[in-house]
Structure 1
Amino acid sequence: MAQEFVEAQLRGDKVVVFLKPSCPYCITAREVLSKYQFRPGHLDWIDISGRSDMGSLQDYFLEITGARTVPRVFVGEECVGGGSDVMELHKSGKLKAMLQSMGALQ
């Protein structure tokens, strides 16, 4: 069930962030991604904190990304990691290049 839910959210031209609103790394990821002008429908925030399947979602993240923690940031169908990973990609310029190449930016 968790696998179907996660896979249904991912798309090659979209950034999807699975998060919990109170998590400091989730806030970091939000701050970094808010610096970019996304085309409508190309950035999704999915709050897993109130979900009954939160544990199984995090188990699935561990299986496919190597970590259970949030945020899990997917650029297209590839997980690029969490908040500090997104910050590093942003600082290096790689994040902008990834977003441009997938057509997610205005």
Structure 2
Amino acid sequence: MNSAPKVTIYTTPYCPYCHAAKALLKRKGVAYDEIDVQDHTRRQQMMLRASGRRTVPQIFIGDRHVGGSDDIHELDRRGELDTLLQPA
């Protein structure tokens, strides 16, 4: 049995874009691992290495970096997000 890909989102507590991205995932019933990068230099470095970006949120579906809030909402608008979230 294949399972859905792991979703990881790098966030900070007061980021409205982080809240919007998490709300979209919640509406879709998607579980995700949230990594708070506020005041955690090591985690910020991990995020930068993983995505090449310093802004939040940064969202990964499996090993694929899908970008930030605007990117995940655009994937959803185009109908591509559900495909990415399907079990392999």
Are 1:20 and 1:48, in contact at CA under 8 Å, matched by a contact in 2?
yes
Once the two structures are TM-superposed, the CA of residue 69 in structure 1 deviates from its matched residue by 0.9
Provide the identity percentage: 36
Paired with 1:66 and 1:35, the residues of 2 have a C-alpha distance of: 28
Are 2:10 and 2:47, in contact at CA under 8 Å, matched by a contact in 1?
no
Q: Secondary structure at the match of 1:74?
A: strand
Partner of 2:6: 14
Paired with 1:82 and 1:68, the residues of 2 have a C-alpha distance of: 11
Once the two structures are TM-superposed, the CA of residue 101 in structure 1 deviates from its matched residue by 3.9
Are 1:58 and 1:68, in contact at CA under 8 Å, matched by a contact in 2?
yes
Are 1:14 and 1:43, in contact at CA under 8 Å, matched by a contact in 2?
yes
TM-score (norm 1): 0.68
Paired with 1:31 and 1:23, the residues of 2 have a C-alpha distance of: 12
Aligned pair partner of 1:96 in 77, 82, 88 = 82
Matched residue count: 85
| Unpaired runs of at least 5, structure 2 | none
RMSD across aligned positions (CA):
1.9
Are 1:16 and 1:44, in contact at CA under 8 Å, matched by a contact in 2?
yes
Q: How far does the alpha carbon of each residue in 1:43-90 deviate from its partner, in whole angstroms, 9 at most, with x for none?
A: 21222225xxx2343234333322111111110011111111111111
